[in-house]
Amino acid sequence: MPHRLNPAPLALAVAILALPSLSLAEAISPHLEINGFATAGGSWVSKDYNGKYLGDPYQPGAGIDEKGSYQQDSVLGVQLTYSYDDRLDMVGQIVAAGTNDFQAQAEWAYIGYRVNDNLRVRAGRFAAPWYMYTENSHVGQAYPWARLPVELYKGIPINSLDGFDLLYRQPLGDWNLDAQVTVGGAHNSYVRVANNTGLNINLSHDAVNFHLGYSVARVGLTFAKNPGGNSAEQASYLMNLYGFDTNTKNEATSFADAGMTFDDGTWMAVAEFGALRIDGWASDINAGYLSVGHYYGKWLPYALASKIETINKDQCTSAFAPALNNAANVTAQANGAVAATTATVNGLMAIIASPSSSATDVALATAELPDALVLQAQANAAAGQAATGQAAADQVVNTTCDNRDQTSYSLGFRYDATKNVSVKFQIDEVRDFKGTQGYFNGVLPGRNADTQVYTFNVNAAF
């Protein structure tokens, strides 16, 4: 029977490539298990519109263009599990992703305690429970496609949650009920999630799995308050000068997700839909996908359609109105100072150059000119900073509030070379941007634009 895929949490496997083998782990300690996973491959777009597809505005190096990318989907991870006894264990997962320039990060770091056969408690850092494939978002071997549908899975830029959760499992006749209650928060270089409380329910029976999830939180921007760093940090620093505190504007947020999978080893079908709602500074998102495939031995050809639409942009831009107005006022005042000091300098120079000026007037003008030139230079510098600040304010609004509408139609296949290794190829037709930038980085492809994305990768988990 072909290898069946399941979005439920997988027992991730022994180290890959240069990682130590399980036998070595057993030699070190019979309580220690080492698992690993990796994805390596390349992606290209037919038209990049002078930007990068799937690029991150806060990580300028990420994304796919016409020259291709060998980093976008590449990832290497290792997971260590130390079981003290049959109740207490400690789990750590380190991931080095190409989208983060392969900088190793601790995605999981928690202590788990099994209260009884049905209930388990975890405390620390674990996978953020947003979607069906959350636990396996880095594990290409765990899902059928070359990458998770970006229209839905790129909507929340947080992979891990710091806090605690309760995991409850209960058989219901021929069905299994898995419920998860989460409490915690998370942050990265530009988003902070606080007071997150969520409930996730999975109901499964043989080939079928149903998923429902809902969470509420407070979400805010966490850009660094300094003039250096990347463009987003610079923009935030200047925005703060104009009266918008991006570090403390935490808004009420909710996310709902529903999905189902069917995989009987002959047919595969997956559907998932998510709705993100953020009061204030960010546009709301509706996104989802539908995929079907059929197994032919080790081959799984599939079709995938996914879509994202962002709404309530006006609500988002209105949150930035005070900062934008302040930036415009500062720019106008700076330009006025430039005009005034330039007029003074020109007047003094005209007196000095005029043959009709008296010696006394020329002497006075000559004495005043150095100070006037200093004031003019200061005014020009202030005007330049104001113009940069206003552009930065516009950048924050465009980046944060810009709609991300797009639709992808995909065809691809997965070939299971072995139980632990698969090869995937996928072609995406990305279109229907509706005048937005979609998931391009900092460019506007246009209302009738489209592009094709070609992806090939190899995935492993042991």
d(C-alpha 435, C-alpha 443), whole Å: 11
Cβ atoms of residues 160 and 134 within 8 Å: no
Strand partners, 44: 454
DSSP single-letter state for residue 2: P
What is the token pair recorded at 110?
Answer: 């928690």
Q: What is the pLDDT of residue 57?
A: 56
Cβ atoms of residues 64 and 52 within 8 Å: yes
Tokens 């978002």 belong to residue: 137
- Give the start-end residues of each E strand in 264-367: 267-278, 284-294, 299-311
- What's the length of the chain? 462
17: left (phi over 0), alpha (psi -120 to 50) or beta: left
d(C-alpha 129, C-alpha 135), whole Å: 7
Cβ neighbourhood burial of 27 (10 Å; 0-12, 13-18, 19+): exposed
Q: What is the pLDDT of residue 188?
A: 76
Residue-wise pLDDT tens for the chain (462 aa)? Answer: 455 565 543 333 333 333 344 444 555 677 899 999 999 999 999 998 888 898 765 555 578 999 999 999 999 999 999 999 999 999 999 999 988 889 899 999 999 999 999 999 999 999 998 899 999 999 999 999 999 999 999 888 788 999 999 999 999 999 999 999 999 999 876 778 899 999 999 999 999 999 999 999 998 776 544 444 444 555 555 556 655 555 446 788 999 999 999 999 999 999 999 999 988 767 788 999 999 999 999 999 999 999 999 887 776 667 667 777 777 888 888 899 999 999 999 999 999 889 998 889 889 989 999 999 999 999 999 888 888 777 766 766 666 666 689 999 999 999 999 999 999 999 999 999 887 888 887 677 776 789 999 999 999 998
At CA 454, angle to CA 453 and CA 459, rounded to 5?
125
